């Protein structure tokens, strides 16, 4: 079973593909559709408060023919955050959970969970702590609440969770750890929260297969002209899984997006 996850940074930009960047995003989306993943998770759809447009829904239905579509829209801040999942198989149930997060985080469409007979597949778009770490305290509260939410799922059946977790866990998960030590996504607090999440019963699928591999990243800054060509990136997108699924884990890949910066899609393969 192959699953793909991607922070698309605007579904509309991909569907409309009227700019050079939009064309690149559209090309990646087409490549993903051609791979026919069992489940495709999307973060940062940036949909309108009213939901996906008719065109967005129809284009995705055409690209992913036969898939079931589910979208969690941000009602707190229009055109912000949001998640989407497409599944070849109809889930037993679908949840758009609120986890008791601070502020408007629970209203930003950040989580979708699909329940299947043998496992849950969920996706998350974790809040960023902000350039001045203004939301670091709220982010820590989010991390705790999300960990507890995953634990409640894990008590029922195994969990596979993907998404943009907005944290590089170890020094080898970003190009410049020393200069970014106090940056959002690489603070001690965020890294400790991620360690605690793994300790709660989950594996980082990439690190499980590649314990010491360096220079594999999933995000490159758009504002840096040379970030992609110099591979000056961060690994902040993950597939985690319940510990008891480790023996079913077979492969993990970061999909090539060419010159396109920002996030790259990630793919995980399980023997189901």
125 classed as catalytic: yes
Percent of the chain with pLDDT over 90: 97
Report strand pairing: 237-242 vs 202-204: antiparallel
User: Which residues is 70 bridged to in the sheet?
Assistant: 85
What is the domain partition of the chain in residue ranges? 2-270
Q: What is the pLDDT of residues 113-170, one digit of tens each?
A: 999 999 999 999 999 999 899 999 999 999 999 999 999 999 999 999 999 999 999 9
Is 62 a known ligand-binding residue? no
Arithmetic mean of pLDDT, 95-119: 97
pLDDT digit string, tens, across residues 202-235: 999 999 999 999 999 999 999 998 999 999 999 9
Q: CATH number of the domain at 2-270, out of 3.90.1150.10, 3.50.50.60, 3.20.20.150, 3.60.10.10? A: 3.60.10.10
Instruction: Check the annotation: does 118 bind a ligand.
Output: no
Is 210 marked as a binding-site residue?
no
164 is catalytic: yes
Q: What is the mean pLDDT of the chain?
A: 97
Per-residue b or e along 112-135, where b marks 16 or more CB atoms closer than 10 Å to that residue's CB: bbbbbeebbbbbbbbbbbeeebeb
164-198 pLDDT, tens digit each: 999 999 999 999 999 999 999 999 999 999 999 99
Please tell me which residue in 70, 125, 149, 238 is annotated as part of the active site: 125
H-helix or E-strand spanning residue 123: strand 120-125
Per-residue pLDDT at 263 = 98
Of the candidates 106, 173, 237, 263, the residue annotated as catalytic is 263
Residue 146's alpha-carbon distances to 111, 189, 259, in angstroms, are 9, 15, 33
Instruction: Indicate which residue of 9, 106, 164, 237 is catalytic.
Output: 164
pTM above threshold 0.75: yes
17 is in an annotated binding site: no
Residue tagged 């490159």 (tokens): 220
263 catalytic? Reply is yes
Residue 84 neighbours by CB under 8 Å, 6+ apart: 11, 41, 42, 45, 52, 60, 69, 70, 71, 72, 112
Q: pLDDT for 232-255, tens place per residue?
A: 999 999 999 999 999 999 999 999
- CA–CA gap between residue 236 and residue 259 (Å, rounded): 19
**pLDDT > 90? residue 1:** yes
* Residue corresponding to tokens 């989010």: 142
Q: What is the pLDDT of residue 131?
A: 86
The rounded radius of gyration (Å) of the Cα atoms in the chain is: 17
The beta strand positions in 128-263, using DSSP E, are 159-164, 202-204, 219-220, 233-234, 237-242, 249-254, 262-263
């Amino acid at each position: 079973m192959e699953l793909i996850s991607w922070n698309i940074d605007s579904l509309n930009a991909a569907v409309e593909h009227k700019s050079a960047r939009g064309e690149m995003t559209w090309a990646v989306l087409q490549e993903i559709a051609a791979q026919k993943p069992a489940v495709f998770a999307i973060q940062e759809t940036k949909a309108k408060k009213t939901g996906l447009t008719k065109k967005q829904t129809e284009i995705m239905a055409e690209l992913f023919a036969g898939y079931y579509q589910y979208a969690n829209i941000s009602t707190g801040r229009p055109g912000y955050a949001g998640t989407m999942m497409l599944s070849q198989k109809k889930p037993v149930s679908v949840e758009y959970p609120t986890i008791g997060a601070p502020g408007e985080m629970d209203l930003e469409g950040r989580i979708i969970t699909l329940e299947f007979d043998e496992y849950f597949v969920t996706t998350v778009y974790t809040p960023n702590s902000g350039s001045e770490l203004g939301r670091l305290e709220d982010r820590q509260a989010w991390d705790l609440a999300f960990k507890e939410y995953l634990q409640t799922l894990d008590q029922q059946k195994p969990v596979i969770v993907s998404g943009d977790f907005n944290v590089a866990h170890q020094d080898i998960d970003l190009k410049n750890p020393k200069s970014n030590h106090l940056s959002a996504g690489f603070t001690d607090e965020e890294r400790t929260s991620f360690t605690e999440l793994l300790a709660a019963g989950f594996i980082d699928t990439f690190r499980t297969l590649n314990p010491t591999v360096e220079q594999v990243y999933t995000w490159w800054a758009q504002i840096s002209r040379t970030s992609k060509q110099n591979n000056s990136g961060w690994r902040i997108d993950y597939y985690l899984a319940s510990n008891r699924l480790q023996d079913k884990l077979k492969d993990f890949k970061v999909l090539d997006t060419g010159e396109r910066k920002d996030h790259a899609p990630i793919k995980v393969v399980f023997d189901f």
